[in-house]
Amino acid sequence: MSSRAPRHVVVVGAGVVGLSCAWHLRRRGVEVTVLDRSTVGAGASWGNAGYLTPAMAVPLPEPALLREGLRGLADPDSPLAVAPRPGRDTLAFMAGFARNATTARWRRSLDALTPLASRALAAFDDLVAGGVPVDLREAPVRIGFRPGEDDAGLRHELDAVRAAGQPVRYSPGPAGTPFSDRITTVLELHGQRFVDPGQVLHALADAVRAGGGRIVEGAPVRSVGFGPGGLRVETWSGPPHSADAVVLATGAWLSELARDLGVRVPVVAGRGYSCTVGLREPLETPVYLPGVRVAVTPYRDGARLAGTMEIAGRDAPFRERRLAAVVRSVAPLLTAVDPASVHDPWVGPRPLTPDGLPLLGRTLLPGVHVAGGHGMWGLTLGPVTGALLAEQIVTGVDRPELAPFDPLRRRRPAPPPTDRATVTA
Ligand SMILES: Cc1cc2nc3c(=O)[nH]c(=O)nc-3n(C[C@H](O)[C@H](O)[C@H](O)COP(=O)(O)OP(=O)(O)OC[C@H]3O[C@@H](n4cnc5c(N)ncnc54)[C@H](O)[C@@H]3O)c2cc1C
């Protein structure tokens, strides 16, 4: 630790990103307090699909998704939907998303994400080597297409990820179980992993506590500012906490606290739904169905179905209809799942930014950092984020690979996009 390193850091948010930051800070000898307004894993980190798939961690804004989103506006059961009467942040997000949904910007953002994604699986291995008992499972992701659904777009995308620097391997896979005969083309994406996200969160939280860190649940933070002798974190529920540094890792709620600290990039909630279903046949590997945008993952003694993207309020009520649409879309495509045995219904907010890049680094208030906005891939990228943020906080060194994720980037002029080969994703 350098002599300028903080002695005590408050991390706000006990999702995978906040807990990863906390664990890495403890590992570097820093005293840590994690505050969550609710409980460990109360946000997006709990009921997600559990894919650890850096090869799929590409920027969200791209031309095909923009077209699909616009078509879906008219269909309430579409995998992509925007809630009626969008607020100011949502409108700013949609305008920014449309600006960024070009092939050139997608390429530039992919280049930015690649150093992070390339280290993602090793960062999970580091957790395990450091004594966090995460149950990592290795298996190819099997991706199934119906007739008329073009696998060329996904292959182009994976080729672009490989060209950007990740070791991506995919091959044609066999049709048949767990797919029904409606799936006629299968790709297998190798070298990826999956987990039970709840198990990861508990393992991380237990390790933070066992290492001497504190986790305070039911502590909603209302503001961060200067106080006597350092930073002061005020909560709605109890006494303030003082700290030498603060990490805001509040997922889709990030803008609520970070906006006043100069972070103008809006973070909105891309709400996804999941549930557990029983199995009629064993399911050994994760399955992805791009045509309906649903991920299916072996989960305990069943499977987790996860899908839909609903741009809506972070805390909007659960909508039964959207989960039903997920289950209905999968039922004819997979023989392995039993759509009649739905349990553990869940909704969680993916923290989305308009340029598809996370926000990692310093705010205008010295000592206050943000870590969030990983969108579709915060579970995969959480541990590597924690490692990089802890390093920045403790050493004061800004690694060049963090530069594209500067939380203050909307305050600085963006470099012009370079136009290279086109991608049809
Ligand atoms: C359906 C679905 C499927 C997904 N599948 C995958 C996948 O397979 N692989 C993958 O890599 N990613 C996946 N994701 C994305 C991933 O879940 C998220 O990117 C990730 O969980 C974000 O983690 P986080 O820690 O930033 O935020 P969160 O997990 O949302 O945590 C934020 C925490 O901050 C707390 N908080 C908020 N405001 C305050 C406050 N004022 N004071 C104190 N605490 C506060 C909240 O209670 C919450 O616990 C999926 C997401 C969804 C919705």
Within-domain flag for 308 = yes
Residue 1 CB burial class (10 angstroms; 0-12, 13-18, ≥19): exposed
Q: How confident is the model at residue 84 (pLDDT cuts 50, 70, 90)?
A: confident
For tokens 């095909």, name the residue.
64
Within-domain flag for 260 = yes
Q: How confident is the model at residue 387 (pLDDT cuts 50, 70, 90)?
A: very high
pLDDT at residue 78 is higher than 90: no
Ligand 1 pocket mutation pick from 36, 194, 353 by most atoms within 8 angstroms of CB: 36
For residue 398 the two structure tokens come to 């800004």
Cα 286 to Cα 187: distance, rounded to the nearest angstrom: 12
Within-domain flag for 416 = no
Nearest CA to 97 out of 56, 58, 75, 65 is that of 65
pLDDT at residue 112 is higher than 70: yes
| pLDDT average, residue stretch 412-422 | 43
| Predicted confidence (pLDDT) per residue in 275-302, tens digit | 999 999 999 999 999 999 999 999 999 9
Contact 344, 49 (CB under 8 A): no
Distance in Å, CA 47 to ligand 1 centroid: 9
pLDDT at 419: 37
pLDDT at residue 241 is higher than 70: yes
Q: Tell me, what CATH number does 349's domain have?
A: 3.50.50.60
| Predicted confidence (pLDDT) per residue in 20-51, tens digit | 999 999 999 999 999 999 999 999 999 999 99
Distance in Å, CA 244 to ligand 1 centroid: 25
Q: Name the residue range of residue 112's domain.
A: 8-411
Cα 290 to Cα 154: distance, rounded to the nearest angstrom: 9
Within-domain flag for 3 = no
Q: How confident is the model at residue 74 (pLDDT cuts 50, 70, 90)?
A: low
pLDDT at 313: 87
List residues near ligand 1 (CB under 6 A).
12-18, 35-38, 42-45, 48-51, 220-221, 249-253, 257, 272, 274, 295, 306, 348, 350-351, 372, 374-380
pTM: 0.95
pLDDT at 82: 79
- Residue 56 phi, psi (nearest 5): -100, 0
Q: How confident is the model at residue 76 (pLDDT cuts 50, 70, 90)?
A: low
Question: Among 52-56, 62-66, 176-180, 228-232, whose mean pLDDT is lowest?
Answer: 62-66
pLDDT at 398: 93
Q: How confident is the model at residue 412 (pLDDT cuts 50, 70, 90)?
A: low
pLDDT at 62: 86
Q: Which atom of ligand 1 is nearest to the CA of 194?
A: 8
pLDDT at 72: 66
| pLDDT average, residue stretch 366-385 | 98
Q: How many domains, in total, are found in the chain?
A: 1
Within-domain flag for 293 = yes
Within-domain flag for 418 = no
Nearest CA to 371 out of 4, 2, 6, 15 is that of 15
pLDDT at 73: 63
| pLDDT average, residue stretch 341-358 | 96
pLDDT at 68: 72
pLDDT at residue 416 is higher than 60: no
pLDDT at 139: 96
pLDDT at 422: 30
Within-domain flag for 420 = no
Distance in Å, CA 206 to ligand 1 centroid: 18
- Helices marked H in 338-377 — which ranges? none
Within-domain flag for 422 = no
Cα 273 to Cα 22: distance, rounded to the nearest angstrom: 27
Closest Cα to atom 3 of ligand 1: 48
pLDDT averaged over every residue in the chain: 92
| pLDDT average, residue stretch 159-173 | 97
Nearest CA to 201 out of 38, 355, 85, 368 is that of 38
Nearest CA to 248 out of 271, 231, 281, 224 is that of 224
| Predicted confidence (pLDDT) per residue in 194-220, tens digit | 999 999 999 999 999 999 999 999 999
| pLDDT average, residue stretch 62-68 | 77
Cα 72 to Cα 214: distance, rounded to the nearest angstrom: 44
